[in-house]
A and B are shown apart, each in its own frame.
Chain A
Amino acid sequence: MSAPATSRFAQFKLVLLGESAVGKSSIVHRFVKNTFDELRESTIGAAFLTQTITIPETDTTIKFEIWDTAGQERYKSLAPMYYRNANAALCVYDITSRVSFNRAQDWIKELRKQAPEGIVIALVGNKSDLSDNREVELSEVEEYVEQYNSEATGGGSTIIIAECSAKTGDGVLEVFNRIGRALPVEEAINAAGGRARQAGGRRAGGVDLNRPRAQAQQGGSCC
């Protein structure tokens, strides 16, 4: 496929969830473009972006297909489409807003009910540069996760906890690296290998459309 033959390649779908204005889009843009826009308008519906990271220890390239969703209530009906096939979810809250932390917990509940089993969840507190106005302490987040994991029956995967600042860039890449390490890379590579052979036989039927080659990768690792 498109990755060099020597390194291993896997593709995952990741969705960002959380209350409006916690900084989901800012985190994504810091991760994807390394930019920050103080006056960013809120997202309409959802935005789809991709970014690749490398995990040096395992010589693996991971491509994230990212759904940056709007936090507003009225787009909620679209949410299942984003997390239905998601491999990872970033539930974002704003460390200066308790309400947003509660909302992030609601999303985690929703994911456990609706999302595929084995989804990697990260509970991320954004705006760590504003710690003077902090309303959510890291210790209580840990407490919440501990309690949640003990209640979850046979869930297996635990929730990743992190804080970051999309504004300064602190901790943003680390979040995605930690998610990358938690993802089932081996399974994905095996599955994609099988799929790649299949994809070779795939051709546009009927009309010759010169479809771009990258298309063969579509749907990579989802199950």
Chain B
Amino acid sequence: MSNGFRARLGSISTIQSARSLFPTTTVEPTTAVTFTNVEPNLIGTESTYTPSVTDSEGFLANSGLLTDDEVSDYFQQPDEDLSEMLTDLIRHTPEEPTSAKQSFLDVNIFPNPYDLDEEEFYKRHIEISKEDELFHDKLKQFFILSNAGKPIYSMNGSDEIIIGYMGVITTIISTFEENMNEEIYSISVGDMKIVALNKSPLILVSISKIAHEQPNVLLSQLNMLYNYLLSIISKPTIDRNFHNKLNYDLRRILTQLDFHNLDCLCMKMTYGLTSYDSFNYYISQLLNASLQQIKISYTARQRLNKILLDSKRMRQNSDDKETDLGADLLFSILSVNSKIVSFMKPKNHNLTNQDLTLLFSIINSSKSDISNDETSEDMWFPICMPNFNPNGFLYVFVKTIILQTTPVTITLLSSNKNSFYQIRQISNYIIHKLTKPKMLSKLTKELHESNTLAILREVPISHFIYKNKALNQFVMSDTDNSVNSVLQLSYFYNTLYHTKASQMKTIGSLNIKKFSYTRWTVDEAVITGFMLSDNNYEFYCLCNYQINSKELIGHCIKVIKWCEKNYNRLFIGNGVSFT
């Protein structure tokens, strides 16, 4: 375990990688706005919360260094003149990008009272442990219990230690309900936040000692856990069981896999750890259940969409009877590592992004061993999609095939629990089409290339996120999934996201541009974070050294323009519909 952990604790390689591409930075004349002389009139950003800055001297977040006027001037000019527009506002010392591999502990994301090293800290404060010993050291707790105070799930600790808390929680919640006729929502005690969600007959509670986790975030996390329970058991079953017996033990119908999945969800939502798609999940939730996209050419996507539509129309003649194989098929999804490549839905129905991410979490949890041979298994299981229909189940067919080296997952949702063989024929048809030589070579080439976004080679930006607001879909540059990188990136983006943005005065335009700027100084290292948004997009990026604002904005605009230009390749939009 500890060896495995060491291997996962890397540096931020995504951030480091920009360095090799841009070994030298141009030294600009500086107007020397330093951290110490930031004046209040240099308004740029303002934090909506106070990050803990106590232990690290060099650490400074939320430094707004651009003024409204200057940036708005900048945006009113034609883009060709951009580089001429802005004087340097940020102190720009001629330093190399940081070479030191900083640890997430240096960034001071979490308090470290015992001065532990990374591995010890992870074990003591972060990693899920069902032992009682470290229960009180954990930064995050989740509990699910029944109205009657019966424990159903706890992220950490054994029944013995949590049972007392269950009593306290039910007492507090019922006292509020009875005496004040309102639902308790959140309590803050010092650095600790407690948020409760009352979904009678279930109560969900989260306790967080993590400074950057806000009550509204904790609440949405609780909703996610609740939706997981709904997705596997459905609302009517929960209600029925508790209606018959107030003292019902919901654990009886939960399985080991469910507890494992709840553990995974807790880690994903809180830290963006620990599986390959956890960080993507974290960002997706941070961006308001946005859906991550994968780059693929427009024609390839159209072809895949057509395959899905054709498969829906499959018919079979047997015994002089024509059967409509796709009669019960509602949704078809082709995905690569939980990123949707092609999506088919009924004209008047859709799956929400929350439901889709939940579906992918469950599919990934079963991690059927994928192999190159044809014997990879077909999965068939019931699922309730809470936002689609909380009262009933859909039936999911899942099969993953390897196209060269890329795993492509076919997910088909049917309304009929007995339609497996028909749905399997549809899947076979899809596989048949995908593996036709011409399609196969085109698709594998494109999927292979989609891992690296070409634009990143042209700008010294280490990591970025571009979200299309209308679609609620985003693209993000590739991330290395080491514990260290993920903890830092999720913290940086969280801070950037929650930093209050300044609005730019744009005369006569309804398209309001907003921006915020944050810088973290960790020992010798500097990380610059920048957010820019208008009515159509939100753009976030990180840069691993001090960069002057003119350069930074220029690079950001370049990436944004690239994203806009590649709209059809980057975004799936609404998929295709059948009538």
Interface residue ranges, A against B (CB under 8 Å) = 20-21, 29, 32-33, 35, 37, 41-51, 68, 70, 72-75, 77-78, 81, 198, 202-207, 209-212, 214-215, 218-219
A207: B residues at CB distance < 8 A:
310, 313-315
User: B375 contacts A33, CB within 8 Å?
Assistant: yes
User: B316 contacts A46, CB within 8 Å?
Assistant: no
A178 CB to nearest chain B CB (Å): 22
User: A20 contacts B368, CB within 8 Å?
Assistant: no
A153 CB to nearest chain B CB (Å): 30
A218: B residues at CB distance < 8 A:
421, 425
A81: B residues at CB distance < 8 A:
417-418, 420
Q: Does B367 contact A (CB under 8 A)?
A: yes
B79: A residues at CB distance < 8 A:
none
Partner of B429, one of A41, A75, A211: A211
Contact status of A46 and B310, CB under 8 A, knowing A202-B318, A209-B429, A212-B429? no
Chain B, residues 226-265, CB within 8 Å of chain A (1/0): the string is 0000001100000000000000000011011100100000
| Alpha-carbon gap, A78 to B369, bound state (A) | 23
B352 CB to nearest chain A CB (Å): 21
| Alpha-carbon gap, A206 to B314, bound state (A) | 9
Most interface-central of B362, B378, B433 (chain A CB within 10 A):
B378
| Alpha-carbon gap, A81 to B311, bound state (A) | 23
B255: A residues at CB distance < 8 A:
20, 42, 70, 72, 74
Most interface-central of B232, B380, B420 (chain A CB within 10 A):
B380
Q: Does B31 contact A (CB under 8 A)?
A: no
User: B317 contacts A205, CB within 8 Å?
Assistant: yes
Q: Does B365 contact A (CB under 8 A)?
A: yes
4 nearest A-B pairs in the assembled complex, by CB-CB distance: A45-B381, A48-B378, A47-B377, A212-B432
User: A41 contacts B366, CB within 8 Å?
Assistant: yes
Contact status of A43 and B371, CB under 8 A, knowing A75-B382, A81-B420, A211-B432? no
Contact status of A204 and B316, CB under 8 A, knowing A21-B256, A32-B375? yes
B80: A residues at CB distance < 8 A:
none
A sample of 28 cross-chain residue pairs with beta-carbon separation below 8 angstroms, ordered by A number, consists of: A20-B256, A33-B375, A37-B369, A42-B257, A44-B257, A46-B381, A48-B377, A48-B378, A48-B420, A49-B375, A50-B375, A51-B375, A70-B381, A73-B252, A73-B253, A77-B417, A198-B318, A202-B316, A203-B317, A204-B315, A206-B313, A206-B315, A207-B315, A210-B432, A211-B314, A212-B429, A215-B425, A215-B428
| Alpha-carbon gap, A49 to B420, bound state (A) | 13
User: A46 contacts B369, CB within 8 Å?
Assistant: no
Q: Does B212 contact A (CB under 8 A)?
A: no
Q: Does B160 contact A (CB under 8 A)?
A: no
Q: Does B498 contact A (CB under 8 A)?
A: no
Contact status of A78 and B417, CB under 8 A, knowing A203-B317, A206-B315? yes
Q: At the interface, is chain A mostly helix, strand, loop or mixed?
A: loop
| Alpha-carbon gap, A209 to B433, bound state (A) | 9
User: A68 contacts B377, CB within 8 Å?
Assistant: yes
Chain B, residues 410-454, CB within 8 Å of chain A (1/0): the string is 000000011011001100110111000000000000000000000
User: A49 contacts B313, CB within 8 Å?
Assistant: no
| Alpha-carbon gap, A74 to B241, bound state (A) | 12
| Alpha-carbon gap, A219 to B310, bound state (A) | 23
B360 CB to nearest chain A CB (Å): 13
B428 CB to nearest chain A CB (Å): 5
A68: B residues at CB distance < 8 A:
377
Partner of A43, one of B311, B318, B366, B429: B366
User: B314 contacts A48, CB within 8 Å?
Assistant: no
| Alpha-carbon gap, A70 to B373, bound state (A) | 24
User: B377 contacts A41, CB within 8 Å?
Assistant: no
Q: Does B379 contact A (CB under 8 A)?
A: yes
A125 CB to nearest chain B CB (Å): 21
A36 CB to nearest chain B CB (Å): 11
B243-291 CB contacts (< 8 Å) to partner A: 252-253, 255-257, 260
B314 CB to nearest chain A CB (Å): 6
CB-nearest residue of chain A relative to B232? A74
User: B375 contacts A48, CB within 8 Å?
Assistant: no
User: B314 contacts A209, CB within 8 Å?
Assistant: yes
B392 CB to nearest chain A CB (Å): 13
B304-321 CB contacts (< 8 Å) to partner A: 310-311, 313-319
| Alpha-carbon gap, A212 to B233, bound state (A) | 36
Q: Does B322 contact A (CB under 8 A)?
A: yes
A105 CB to nearest chain B CB (Å): 21
Contact status of A44 and B379, CB under 8 A, knowing A33-B371, A81-B418, A207-B310? yes
Chain B, residues 317-338, CB within 8 Å of chain A (1/0): the string is 1110010000000000000000
| Alpha-carbon gap, A210 to B432, bound state (A) | 9
| Alpha-carbon gap, A101 to B195, bound state (A) | 45
| Alpha-carbon gap, A70 to B258, bound state (A) | 13
B367 CB to nearest chain A CB (Å): 7
List 6 other contacts, CB 8 Å, given A47-B380, A72-B255. Answer: A42-B255, A49-B375, A204-B315, A205-B317, A209-B311, A218-B421
A39 CB to nearest chain B CB (Å): 10
| Alpha-carbon gap, A207 to B366, bound state (A) | 35
| Alpha-carbon gap, A42 to B362, bound state (A) | 12
User: B310 contacts A209, CB within 8 Å?
Assistant: yes
| Alpha-carbon gap, A140 to B485, bound state (A) | 57
B364-412 CB contacts (< 8 Å) to partner A: 365-369, 371, 373, 375, 377-382, 396
Chain B, residues 333-374, CB within 8 Å of chain A (1/0): the string is 000000000000000000000000000001001111101010
| Alpha-carbon gap, A70 to B368, bound state (A) | 14
B327 CB to nearest chain A CB (Å): 14
Contact status of A45 and B428, CB under 8 A, knowing A21-B256, A81-B417, A218-B421? no
User: B429 contacts A48, CB within 8 Å?
Assistant: no
Contact status of A46 and B379, CB under 8 A, knowing A81-B418, A202-B318? yes
A139 CB to nearest chain B CB (Å): 32
B85 CB to nearest chain A CB (Å): 56
User: A74 contacts B233, CB within 8 Å?
Assistant: yes
A78: B residues at CB distance < 8 A:
380, 382, 417
User: A205 contacts B375, CB within 8 Å?
Assistant: no
| Alpha-carbon gap, A35 to B376, bound state (A) | 12
CB-nearest residue of chain B relative to A202? B317
Most interface-central of A21, A44, A215 (chain B CB within 10 A):
A44
User: B362 contacts A44, CB within 8 Å?
Assistant: yes
A141 CB to nearest chain B CB (Å): 26
B375: A residues at CB distance < 8 A:
32-33, 49-51
User: A47 contacts B418, CB within 8 Å?
Assistant: no
B310 CB to nearest chain A CB (Å): 6
B311: A residues at CB distance < 8 A:
209
| Alpha-carbon gap, A30 to B53, bound state (A) | 55
| Alpha-carbon gap, A37 to B233, bound state (A) | 28
Partner of A47, one of B252, B378, B396: B378
A73: B residues at CB distance < 8 A:
252-253
B437 CB to nearest chain A CB (Å): 13
Contact status of A204 and B380, CB under 8 A, knowing A21-B256, A49-B375? no
User: A41 contacts B314, CB within 8 Å?
Assistant: no
CB-nearest residue of chain A relative to B435? A212
B417: A residues at CB distance < 8 A:
77-78, 81
